[in-house]
Structure 1
Amino acid sequence: MTLEQYNALHEPEKAEVIMQGNFLAEREENGLPVQLYNLGKIYGEIYYDPLANKILRYRAFDDIRQLGPYLAHIRFNR
């Protein structure tokens, strides 16, 4: 999927498509978990409120520079 194809989806479909991707990492922002998924040519993020059990927002991007916040959460095995 390309970013243009993702952006053409209806709002309810966008979060569903991200969750069908491959989970890569999780980070925290403002006390809330943010999950990163790979969707082929793009990446998707889901901002989640576990207390309310609700997705707050989601977004997709194709610029790998936006992966920076996740680098500290990647563990490499030796």
Structure 2
Amino acid sequence: MLTMEQYDALEDAEKAAAILQGEFLADREENGLIVQLYSVGSFYGELYYDPLANKILRWRAFEGTQQLSPYLAHIRFNAR
């Protein structure tokens, strides 16, 4: 399992690849970009993808759950 410390030691191109190897959780739209959320071992990673350019523009990794709030609005619950 990849740790945050190991992730931080990777080269930039390797960081995006490491996030893509994680488990996809959700996506959202932000300013025309698609932001994809992944679970990567003990932390989370986000990829900011430009669909018009078909290119990943940036990525970031974070620990904890406080930064997951933008995704919570997209969860649908089946209330009975």
TM over 0.5: yes
- Structure 1: 4+ residue segments shifted above 6 A: none
Determine the structure 1 residue equivalent to 2:24. 23
Give the gaps of 5 or more residues in structure 2: none
Contact 1:41 1:62 survives alignment (8 Å): yes
Query: What amino acid is the match of 2:28?
Result: R
Determine the structure 1 residue equivalent to 2:40. 39
Determine the structure 1 residue equivalent to 2:69. 68
User: Taking structure 1 as reference, are residues 17 and 77 closer, same or farther at Cα in structure 2, changes over 3 Å only?
Assistant: farther
Determine the structure 2 residue equivalent to 1:9. 10
Instruction: Give the TM-score of the pair, scaled to structure 1.
Output: 0.92
Determine the structure 2 residue equivalent to 1:55. 56
Measure, in 1, the Cα distance between the counterparts of 2:59 and 2:42.
17
Between structure 1 and structure 2, the one with the greater Rg is 2
User: Taking structure 1 as reference, are residues 77 and 22 closer, same or farther at Cα in structure 2, changes over 3 Å only?
Assistant: farther
Instruction: Give the TM-score of the pair, scaled to structure 2.
Output: 0.89
- Report the alpha carbon displacement of residue 75 of structure 1 after superposing the two structures with TM: 2.9
- Number of residue pairs matched by the alignment: 78
Measure, in 1, the Cα distance between the counterparts of 2:25 and 2:55.
20
Identity over aligned pairs, percent:
69
Give the secondary-structure state (helix, strand or coil) at the position aligned to 1:73: coil
Measure, in 2, the Cα distance between the counterparts of 1:74 and 1:41.
22
Contact 1:46 1:59 survives alignment (8 Å): yes
Give RMSD over aligned pairs. Answer: 1.2
